[in-house]
Amino acid sequence: MNYLEQSFSVKFDYKIYFTSSLFELGNPLLAGFFEARPSAALRKIFFVIDGGVTETHPNLITAIKTYFAGQQQVQLIPDIMVVPGGEASKNDPALFDQLVAAVNVHGIDRHSYIAAIGGGAVLDLVGYAAAVAHRGIKHIRIPTTVLSQNDSGIGVKNGINYQGKKNFLGTFAPPVAVFNDDVFLQTLTDRDYRSGISEAIKVALIKDPDFFYWIEEHAAALAAREQESMNYLIKHCAKLHLDHIAGDDPFETGSARPLDFGHWSAHKLEQLSNFSVLHGEAVAMGIALDSVYSFLTGLLTEEKALRILEVLTKLNFSISDPIIQIKDSGSPILKGLAEFQEHLGGLLTITLLTDIGTGKEVHEMDQQQLIKASCYIADYTHGNNRKKTLSPTHES
């Protein structure tokens, strides 16, 4: 045989920490993290913060500087960078360029750290810059939203939007650590707070029926922003995501993406709305559409489809929007199927439901059934086919 061959594996290891008031001087968590990772080389840490976070936490930058003034293991770059929050941060290539320029100006090497504090979009942007600068700078994530603490901020994906397509440029690069601080959740708007719950519903529907029933039972407490319930939801949802990442395909080399349940339409809805619809809001609508489609195609019972719609509405999600409605084969949202297939890089693979907690992969979507599913949801929102609220029985 006239060729050479090599095969090797790389181990990734990182922890998700749960705390309150991470930068209080009396909180030893962050200092302990650096002490447990000693290095003979001078290490620096460069912070990038979501502008929305600095507005709601005006003392944050001062607290960071005070905290690191007493640290011997790592040197803080005093020039802390503030970037716009939300999807706008992933749509502006100039922000990526500024991050890479900062790496160069401050001499941040592969032994140093870039820490991002913010929502999922800012974490995606900073994670992408950290992954490509010097072929990889150590990245610390400090998520500040429900969505980023239970989903996007704890995974291995980074990216920015390009050519009008979500996450068109990106990398698979795990962080060295994630610090979830529940204090940041207290200043979220009700809309941002609620938005992240949809990802917990998603992962429960495809992986953990008991977790879905727990969400069903605690919907009122979650809607009322009861802290203990939210802390449990975030930690359990994070665990399910980490368990998935530890599976056979953490870097998504195949076409199966069970964690993208409800996302083919959600991604397109975000783009068509010019990102005025939040990711979690779009995912809630995508979950509703694919759950009802699962029912109409004979995979899922109507009773369970209705339970899913009921949970979403109890949590005050809108489950339909003019942009996501499918009236005919020319409806713009349907372009999301082709773009989703392109994003997968192979065979169209959509996860549907055969039961609460059980997903099934299909490789085509029937447009007529999607039209019917969209109409069904529209009727539901107007009360035309809404049944009496079903009490959780936890039965198949």
Q: How many domains is the chain built from?
A: 2
Same domain assignment for residues 183 and 194:
no
Series of mean pLDDT values for 10-residue runs along the chain (396 residues): 86 90 95 87 92 96 94 91 90 91 93 94 94 93 94 86 83 93 95 94 95 97 96 94 73 59 92 90 96 97 97 95 90 87 76 95 93 95 59 37
Same domain assignment for residues 302 and 229:
yes
Answer with the one of 164, 187, 210 that is the final residue of a domain. 187
* Residue 394: per-residue pLDDT: 38
Question: How many Å apart are CA 145 and CA 120, to the nearest integer?
Answer: 8
* Residue 190: per-residue pLDDT: 94
CATH of the domain at 213: 1.20.1090.10
Question: How many Å apart are CA 212 and CA 230, to the nearest integer?
Answer: 14
* Residue 251: per-residue pLDDT: 57
* Residue 293: per-residue pLDDT: 97
Q: 125, 96 in Cβ contact below 8 A?
A: yes
Whether 85 is in a domain gets the answer yes
Same domain assignment for residues 96 and 231:
no
Same domain assignment for residues 194 and 150:
no
Same domain assignment for residues 41 and 168:
yes
Closest to 363 measured CA to CA, from 383, 349, 343, 375:
349
CATH of the domain at 30: 3.40.50.1970
Same domain assignment for residues 207 and 92:
no
Whether 396 is in a domain gets the answer no
Answer with the one of 159, 187, 215 that is the final residue of a domain. 187
Whether 4 is in a domain gets the answer no
* Domain residue limits at 369: 190-381
Whether 389 is in a domain gets the answer no
Same domain assignment for residues 216 and 129:
no
Give the pairing of strands 15-19 and 177-181: parallel
Same domain assignment for residues 156 and 173:
yes
| 360 HSE (CA, 13 A, CB side) | 17
Whether 22 is in a domain gets the answer yes
Same domain assignment for residues 37 and 177:
yes
Structure confidence by residue, pLDDT tens digits, 3-27 = 989 888 888 788 999 999 999 999 9
Whether 392 is in a domain gets the answer no
Same domain assignment for residues 111 and 260:
no
Per-residue DSSP letter, 4: -
List Cα–Cα distances, 252 to 84, 104, 168, 236, in angstroms.
29, 31, 15, 22
Whether 297 is in a domain gets the answer yes
- Cα 361 versus chain centre, distance: 21
Whether 3 is in a domain gets the answer no
Same domain assignment for residues 42 and 128:
yes
Instruction: Report pTM.
Output: 0.85
Question: Burial letters for 276-299: b for 16+ Cβ neighbours within 10 Å, e otherwise?
Answer: ebbbbbbbbbbbbbbbbbbbbbeb
Same domain assignment for residues 95 and 240:
no
Answer with the one of 136, 162, 187 that is the final residue of a domain. 187
